[in-house]
Chain A
Amino acid sequence: MSVPADPPPRGPGQAAAARAVAEAHRGQWAFVLAATVRVTRDLDLAEECVQDAYTKALVAWASTGIPARPGAWLTTTARNRAVDVIRRDAFFRTALPLLADDDETVTGPADGEDIPDERLRLIFTCCHPALAPQDRVALTLRLVCGLTTAETARAFLVAETAMAARITRAKKKITAARIPYRIPDSGDLPERIDAVLTVVDLLFTTGHVAPEGPALLRTELIARAAGLARMLGELLPGDAEVAGLRALVLLTDARRPARLDAEGAPVLLADQDRGRWDRAAIAEGLLLVRRALRRRPPGPFALRAAIAAVHAEAPTWEATDWPEIVGLYDLLLRRRPTPVAALNRAVAVGFAHGPAAGLAALSDLAEEPRLAGYPYASVARGEFLHRLGRRAAAGSAYRQALQHTSNAVERDFLLTRIAALDAEQPC
């Protein structure tokens, strides 16, 4: 008995279409959504229409072929759908609060030729300082990166229902408080760009040192943060602080291949095999640092990138230019005093001028309440005490750090340090 063969597909086939849709999801989501919001002036409706356009693309692209400009195809499809819904629900929609936009109304789909890039509007709205910082992060992942609510919840290790409630509340604030869907005026722009960069930085840092959970790194968050940094570089090419953030992300993430050993335990910067650092990322980061530092005075992201650059350029831990790092932290603390920067400066002082000086710098921060639950302050104290030969005090500092970290990999690391101290303890 012969099995009848399937008719040959007319288009590129389902697998190729699915690949193209997935790629367009990664690369074009923000563009498509941002342009659709201009028509709907309603984030939820725009999301529905964009989701619908991606679903339609799966079928359409399999049979008629992948369009030359997938983003334009998806935008036109989503906007067409939006126009239909708006026409159908015109009566109900008069009662809905709409997003505050410019006076000019965008009514219909563009002809697919030149759809303006509205991504900055979307980004500035999601990262508005009137929203709570964690809400900005959640909205950015959901709306700019196109993650589902479940994926966003997973990225932050919270329950999906909690994440859904957070996103709903944040969207409600956007309409109720009339957070505008607009690029801020030039006077507000530096401050508002800083708010956007802070969101990306928070995402990156959360991925780079996962504060809890089984893994030290959450690579999907690092990838999202790097993607957002690249997108901002494309959208705000002349901004020095955007260049600084991109450099910071590149230079910090360049160490990733050397940060964990074969067993997945963290390797300190001092002990990392620098041969495994990503040299291409470092080269790109160093170029961007130079651009970021051209602005006078340099901004906080440029300074942090410059610190990362000093590490990246040092051939060994011992050869690191610690006085330069201390100087950069001094500048950073003048621009943006934060307890974490103060702690890092104290650590750098310890390497520039010896463990006793480091310990003294750390003790200046002992009263800082915002460092009270921060494990790295205790880890640094433990290090300096250990190097001064004060093993018992070092052990108790490590044990204190242990109380403040719920990251499994870091806990193992600290337990190993404590065990090593106990082993060398002379009786």
Chain B
Amino acid sequence: MARYLLLIHDNEADYEAADDAARRALDEAHAAFDREHKDAIVASEHLQQTSTATVVREDGAGGHLVTDGPYAETKEALGGYYVIDVSDLDAALAVAKRLPFFGGTGEAAVEVRPLH
């Protein structure tokens, strides 16, 4: 068995602009996904908006620099993650393809990264 981190990147603005019913639908889809893959899922979280993020970086002089905002400023933002434990990459990709996305605008993507 091998563990993979599924990083969900989607369009944050669409999610923020959505009404309650649409958000509820996404929550329900995730709950169904969780049930379907409960044997594989090790951990998962839904992240708050990137506007709430803070970055701590090295300042090059032995200290730290604290700034606002996410590490990378892109339209597609990291919105959540799953850690799954499956047999191999094909099994991980099969799980990733079942992930519910918001809106289905064709812009969302999941990065599948093996863990040590």
Contacts and interface: CB of A to CB of B under 8 A. Distances in A.
B28 interface: no
Interface in B78-110: 87-90, 93-94
Contacts of B90: 179-180, 182, 184-185, 188
Nearest to B86: A178
B87 A177 contact: no
B70 interface: no
A184 B89 CA distance: 11
A337 to B, nearest CB: 14
Nearest to A184: B90
Give the secondary structure class of A's interface: loop
Contacts of B87: 100, 178, 180
A176 B2 CA distance: 10
A130 interface: yes
Interface in A107-164: 128, 130
Contact of B114 (A176, A180, A182, A188): A176
A205 B102 CA distance: 40
Contacts, number: 29
Give the secondary structure class of B's interface: mixed
A179 B93 CA distance: 10
Q: How large is the interface on B (under 10, 10 to 19, 20 to 34, 35 or more residues)?
A: under 10
A3 to B, nearest CB: 64
Nearest to A101: B88
Contacts of B89: 100, 128, 130, 177-180
Interface string A172-201: 000011111010110010000000000000
- The interface centre, meaning the residue of B88, B90, B112, B114 with most chain A CB atoms within 10 A of its CB, is B90
A392 to B, nearest CB: 44
Interface in A53-112: 100
B115 to A, nearest CB: 10
A176 B89 CA distance: 10
B67 to A, nearest CB: 32
Contacts of B114: 176-178
A128 B112 CA distance: 14
Contacts of B112: 177
A178 B114 CA distance: 8
Contacts of A182: 88, 90
Nearest to A180: B88
Contact of B2 (A128, A178, A184, A185): A178
- The interface centre, meaning the residue of B93, B94, B112 with most chain A CB atoms within 10 A of its CB, is B93
Given A130-B89, A178-B87, A188-B90, 13 more contacts: A100-B2, A130-B93, A177-B89, A177-B112, A178-B88, A178-B89, A178-B114, A179-B90, A180-B88, A180-B90, A182-B88, A182-B90, A185-B90
15 contacts: A100-B2, A100-B88, A130-B89, A130-B93, A176-B114, A177-B89, A177-B112, A178-B2, A179-B90, A180-B89, A182-B88, A182-B90, A185-B90, A188-B90, A188-B94
Closest CB pairs A-B (n = 8) = A100-B88, A180-B88, A178-B88, A178-B2, A177-B114, A179-B89, A177-B89, A178-B89
